[in-house]
Amino acid sequence: MAFSHDLKSKPLGIAVDDVPVVLWRAEGAVQALVDQCPHRSAKLSVGKVVEGGAIQCPFHAWRFGGDGVCRSIPLVTGAERPAKVRAGRLAAREAGGLIWLFTRVLEVDEAVPPMPSLPPSMTEPGWHGDMIVREWDAHWSRAIQTMLDVAHIPFVRARTIGAGLGRKIGKVDAAHLKLDLRETGGGAYEMDWGLTDPVTGGESDAGWLAFLPPNGMSPKVPVKGETKQGGARVPKEWYLHIFCTPTTEGRSNQFVVPRRNFGRGNPAWAAADKLNIVVLNEDKRNVETAWPSRVPAPTAEISMPADASTIAFQRYHWKTFVEPTLPPRGADAVEAAE
C-alpha cells in the first residue's frame, strides 16, 4: 500500500509483506511489478519510465510493460529474445487516495482480483483530511488488534481522546463497558460501544467503529452540528480510516486516512488532523513491545467481555491467515465474543 500522491513521474520502490514492489504510472494508470529484473536481479525501481509507459532496468536497460512482458533487450535481436521473459506482475488498484496491492504474482492472463469494498467517505466526493503513515517494529496484526481495542482508550489515551471517557469512569463505581458487535459478512463487523452504570442502569454512548477485512478499521469521531453538502444540510461526520500493512519481516506501516465532510480549508480542523500523529504514537510502545508480535489464536490469551472486538479480529485473522480451526481454549480464558 502507498499514498497516491507519493507516486509521481519516477518509479517508486516499496516493500509489502516482504515482497519488494516497484510502482509507476503509464498514461496515468498505476503499474506494479516485483521489484526485481529477472535478468540479474537489479531493482527496477532504480531505473526509469520510458516512452510507451515501460519501465527500464538500470543495469542492462531491459524494458518491461505493466503486464510484466519484456518489451526490449538491447544487443539482442527479436529472434534471439526468449518469448517468455517476464517480470513478476502484481495487481494494483487506486482508490480513496491510496494504491492497493496484492502481492501474489499473477499469471499472464489472470484477471486482477476484486478490491475489498471501501467506506463511502473514502470514495465519494465531499470528504477530505490530511493522511499520514508511520512504520512500526511490529506485526501488522498486533497493530490492527490494538486499533480495534476500545477498553484501553481511557488509560493509554488519557491525555487525548480518552480523557473524557476516563472522567466518566472516575465518576461511576464499577462502570461497565457495553459493546454491541454486529457481523456484516466476510469477517467484517461494526460495533457501537459505551459505558453503563450497573447501579442506576444509566448508559453513555461513546462511539462506533468497524473492522474492514483484512487489515483496516474505521472509528467514528463524535462531532456535533450540521454542514452543507450537495446543496443540502447534513449531519457533520468524521471518520478515521486506519490500515495496517506488512512491510518487511516484523515491521508494518500504519496508514491513517481521516475523512470529514466539513471544515475544508479551516486551519483549526487541519490542526485536528495533525493530532492523529499524537494519538497514533500513544499506541506505539505497547504494540512494539507485545510478545508475540503477531497476534496468537484468541484461545491463547485471557480475554474478558470488553475484548469482544479484538477477539472477533483474532478469530478472523487466525482462520484466514493461519489455520481454519482454532486450537483448544486455555483453562483460564474467558469467552467474550459469542
Mean pLDDT of 36-48: 97
**Residue type, position 76, single letter:** V
Number of H helices, E strands in the chain: 6, 19
User: Residues 245, 147: contact at Cβ < 8 Å?
Assistant: no
* pLDDT 10s digits, 281-300: 999 999 999 999 999 998 89
DSSP symbol at 86: B
Coil vs helix vs strand at 321: helix
Mean pLDDT of 200-206: 63
pLDDT for res 113: 84
Mean pLDDT of 18-40: 96
pLDDT for res 335: 47
pLDDT for res 333: 46
**Within the chain, which residue ranges are assigned CATH 3.90.380.10?**
122-322
Q: Which CATH number, 3.40.710.10, 3.90.380.10, 3.40.190.10, 3.10.20.30, labels domain 122-322?
A: 3.90.380.10
pLDDT for res 128: 93
Coil vs helix vs strand at 274: helix
Coil vs helix vs strand at 147: helix
| Host H or E run for residue 257 | strand 252-260
* pLDDT band, residue 334 (cuts 50/70/90): very low
**Residue type, position 140, single letter:** W
* pLDDT 10s digits, 307-318: 999 999 999 999
* pLDDT band, residue 95 (cuts 50/70/90): very high
User: Residues 36, 19: contact at Cβ < 8 Å?
Assistant: no
pLDDT for res 180: 93
Mean pLDDT of 65-87: 85
* pLDDT band, residue 108 (cuts 50/70/90): confident
* pLDDT band, residue 21 (cuts 50/70/90): very high
* pLDDT 10s digits, 143-184: 999 999 998 888 888 777 766 665 665 555 566 788 899 999
* pLDDT band, residue 194 (cuts 50/70/90): confident
Coil vs helix vs strand at 44: helix
Mean pLDDT of 40-62: 97
**Within the chain, which residue ranges are assigned CATH 2.102.10.10?**
2-115
Answer with the residue of higher pLDDT: 162 or 279: 279
* Lowest-pLDDT range of 1-10, 110-119, 253-262: 110-119
User: Residues 50, 64: contact at Cβ < 8 Å?
Assistant: no
Task: Produce one character per residue of 28-55: b if its CB has 16 or more CB atoms within 10 Å, e if not.
Answer: eebbbbbbbbbeeebbbbebbbeeebbb
Percentage of residues in the chain having pLDDT higher than 90: 64
Backbone angles phi, psi at 328, to 5 degrees: -60, 150
Given a cut of 70, whether residue 326 has pLDDT beyond it is no
User: Residues 301, 291: contact at Cβ < 8 Å?
Assistant: no
Q: Kindly state which CATH superfamily the domain 2-115 is placed in.
A: Rieske [2Fe-2S] iron-sulphur domain (2.102.10.10)
Percentage of residues in the chain having pLDDT higher than 70: 88
Closest C-alpha among 241, 245, 212 to residue 21: 245
pLDDT for res 203: 65
pLDDT for res 145: 96
